């Protein structure tokens, strides 16, 4: 039986160990990022999007926009990507 790959991340209140498979989406928020989970509260992480992308180097976490990374293991949750945008800024992509 394989163990789940927990990673250590610097949250605003200290440090937490997070299973990357539990992440539905990541949203850039200035010099921080927000981790969005299905059954947990969002977490504010003290990392830039670029640093998060390097630290969370898992094939199922895909950067689909300069401000968003989504977990493709949960394709039904891709609607979070659009719900979080609150705009139609993605209409220009082809």
pLDDT above 90 covers what percent of the chain? 11
On whether residue 28 sits in a domain, the answer given is: yes
3-state helix, strand, coil in the chain (%, to 5): 25, 35, 35
Q: What is the pLDDT of residues 17-54, one digit of tens each?
A: 999 989 988 999 888 899 988 888 999 888 899 998 89
On whether residue 94 sits in a domain, the answer given is: no
Q: How many domains does the chain have?
A: 1
Query: Which CATH number fits the domain that encloses residue 73?
Result: 2.40.50.40
The CA-CA-CA angle for residues 46, 59, 15, to 5°, reads: 25
On whether residue 44 sits in a domain, the answer given is: yes
On whether residue 2 sits in a domain, the answer given is: no
On whether residue 93 sits in a domain, the answer given is: no
């Amino acid at each position: 039986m394989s163990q789940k790959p927990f990673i250590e991340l610097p949250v605003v209140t200290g440090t937490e160990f997070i299973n990357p498979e539990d992440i539905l989406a990541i949203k850039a928020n200035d010099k921080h990022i927000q981790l969005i989970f299905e059954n947990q509260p969002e977490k504010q992480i003290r990392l830039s999007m670029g640093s998060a992308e390097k630290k969370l180097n898992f094939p199922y976490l895909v950067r689909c926009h300069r401000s968003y990374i989504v977990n493709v293991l949960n394709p039904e949750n891709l609607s979070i990507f659009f719900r979080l945008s609150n705009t139609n800024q993605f209409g220009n992509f082809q």
